[in-house]
């Protein structure tokens, strides 16, 4: 059997689920994942059913679009109103509503909005359209931030003057710490994001284990990865031995990707930043360093933009914290669905509500 097939083998998965049973915890343990792709994999693999007696896998703030505040979208919309500007964005952000509108709505009203798969596509567009300002919306966690940084460096090397980035990148470990400090959430262990960890390595999770005695298990996305990761997390709890465990060693090195980290912090610096639902978290956002100020789209904003509150009945802020599941939101499937989404959790492909909706039966 090919390696990839082995990692999906249902027979193996059922056997390890049996091993979880044998651990003998005799209760449902609260684990939290902070990665939209983990939310997705957990449901897609059917593990939510297989492990329903043993684990309550809470979805935390792991969807970068979902935790982006209205203010970021409002700024992007403001910039889109200038005919000289082209807003380049990942597809997920297109339909997210800011205070009053969405990029999708602005696009249908004639704004220049470009969907890109990679920030490099936005850079190429800038090269081919010298008469326009191309503004890339930098959203994403540590998996994405280094490659946006690398793109900005490329723009510098090639002396491209019409490429800008509006930075909305956020960092996962500070958000995990903020969640540990919230007395209303009972997290007994974390399942840590595989590809964020491929960049940052194991070290950033050590303070969480030391300060809060909550284990951190780095986990991949195949069904075998997830069941092994969950088993490891439950074993830590059974033995009262919280630790950083790496169950994704084929991609995650202890020190992470040193080149990517170096490039990320050459271009960006960490600072206090706001998250939808979580408020302002210390040193949790990335902002352009002084040396790269010429690429900062904030400098193109000539007015003060005031964010208005989200729609009163939208509970995305509670969902991203893991305080409620989508099923506990009165709007879920009734007024809010992928066809008619109210908040970003239903819009983004990694949004908790979107994934719960897809697997609602």
Told to check if 141 binds other proteins by CB under 8 A, we report yes
Q: Are 286 and 264 in contact (CB under 8 A)?
A: yes
Nearest-angstrom CA–CA distance, 52 and 238: 17
Of residues 80 through 119, those in contact with other proteins by CB under 8 A are 90, 92, 117-119
Cα–Cα separations (whole angstroms), residue 233 to 113, 224, 227: 43, 14, 10
Mark the segment that binds other proteins (CB under 8 A) among 66-74, 225-233, 294-302, 317-325.
225-233
Q: C-alpha angle with apex 46: 44 to 47, nearest 5 degrees?
A: 110
Site size toward other proteins, by CB under 8 A = 54
**66, 325, 34, 317: which is closest to 175 by C-alpha?**
34
- 311 vs 349, which CB is nearer to other proteins? 349
Which of 60, 189, 193, 343: binder of other proteins (CB under 8 A)? 193
Told to check if 324 binds other proteins by CB under 8 A, we report no
Cα–Cα separations (whole angstroms), residue 106 to 41, 79, 98, 119, 284: 33, 11, 11, 21, 30
Which of 140, 274, 343, 344: binder of other proteins (CB under 8 A)? 140
Nearest-angstrom CA–CA distance, 270 and 264: 10
Nearest-angstrom CA–CA distance, 77 and 103: 6
- 220 vs 322, which CB is nearer to other proteins? 220
- 112 vs 144, which CB is nearer to other proteins? 144
Mark the segment that binds other proteins (CB under 8 A) among 73-81, 174-182, 188-196, 323-331.
188-196
Nearest-angstrom CA–CA distance, 324 and 346: 14
Told to check if 135 binds other proteins by CB under 8 A, we report no
Nearest-angstrom CA–CA distance, 176 and 206: 12
Helix (H) or strand (E) holding 244: strand 244-246
Mark the segment that binds other proteins (CB under 8 A) among 101-109, 148-156, 205-213, 290-298.
148-156
Which of 6, 158, 238, 254: binder of other proteins (CB under 8 A)? 6
Nearest approach, Cβ of 78 to other proteins (angstroms)?
25
Told to check if 121 binds other proteins by CB under 8 A, we report yes
Binding mask 14-43 for other proteins (x = CB under 8 A): -xx-xx--x------------xxxx-----
Nearest approach, Cβ of 18 to other proteins (angstroms)?
4
Binding mask 150-179 for other proteins (x = CB under 8 A): x--xx-------------------------
Helix (H) or strand (E) holding 83: none
Mind giving me the DSSP string for 12-54?
Answer: HHHHHHHHHHHH---S-EEEEE--HHHHHHHHHTTHHHHTTTT
- Relative orientation angle of helices 223-238 and 36-44, to the nearest 10 degrees: 100
Which of 143, 162, 167, 284: binder of other proteins (CB under 8 A)? 143
Which of 42, 58, 60, 62: binder of other proteins (CB under 8 A)? 62
Sequence-distant (≥ 6) Cβ neighbours of residue 1 within 8 angstroms: 9
Binding site for other proteins (CB under 8 A): 3-4, 6-7, 12, 15-16, 18-19, 22, 35-38, 62, 64, 90, 92, 117-121, 140-141, 143-144, 146-147, 150, 153-154, 193-196, 198-199, 224-225, 228, 231, 247, 249-253, 257, 259-260, 263, 349-350
């Amino acid at each position: 059997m090919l390696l990839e097939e082995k990692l999906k083998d249902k027979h193996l998965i059922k056997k390890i689920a049996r091993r979880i049973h044998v651990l003998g915890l005799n209760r449902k343990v609260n684990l939290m994942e902070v990665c939209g792709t983990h939310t997705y994999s957990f449901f897609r693999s059917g593990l939510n059913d297989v492990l329903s007696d043993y684990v309550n896998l809470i979805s935390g703030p792991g969807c970068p679009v979902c935790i982006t505040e209205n203010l970021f979208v409002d700024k992007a919309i403001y910039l889109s109103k200038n005919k000289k500007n082209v807003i380049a964005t990942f597809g997920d952000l297109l339909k997210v509503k800011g205070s009053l509108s969405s990029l999708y709505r602005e696009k249908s009203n004639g704004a220049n909005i470009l969907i890109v798969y990679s920030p490099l596509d936005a850079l190429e567009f800038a090269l081919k359209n010298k008469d326009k300002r191309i503004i890339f919306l930098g959203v994403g966690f540590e998996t994405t931030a280094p490659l946006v940084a690398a793109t900005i460096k490329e723009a510098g090397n090639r002396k491209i003057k019409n490429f800008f980035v509006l930075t909305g990148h956020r960092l996962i470990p500070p958000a995990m710490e903020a969640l540990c400090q919230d007395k209303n959430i009972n997290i007994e262990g974390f399942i840590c994001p595989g590809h964020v960890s491929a960049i940052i390595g194991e070290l950033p999770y050590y303070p969480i284990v030391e300060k809060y005695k909550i284990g951190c298990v780095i986990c991949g996305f195949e069904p075998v990865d997830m069941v092994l990761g969950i088993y490891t997390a439950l074993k830590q709890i059974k033995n009262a031995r919280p630790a950083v465990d790496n169950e994704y060693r084929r991609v995650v090195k202890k020190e992470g990707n040193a080149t990517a980290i170096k490039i990320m912090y050459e271009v960006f610096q960490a600072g206090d930043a706001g998250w939808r639902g979580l408020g302002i978290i210390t040193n949790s956002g990335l902002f352009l360093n002084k040396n790269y100020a010429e690429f900062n789209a904030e400098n193109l904003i000539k007015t003060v933009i005031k964010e208005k509150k989200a729609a009163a009945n939208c509970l995305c802020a509670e969902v991203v914290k893991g305080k409620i599941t989508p099923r506990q939101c009165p709007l879920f499937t009734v007024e809010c669905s992928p066809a008619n989404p109210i908040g970003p959790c239903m819009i983004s492909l990694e949004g908790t509500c979107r994934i719960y909706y897809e697997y609602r039966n």
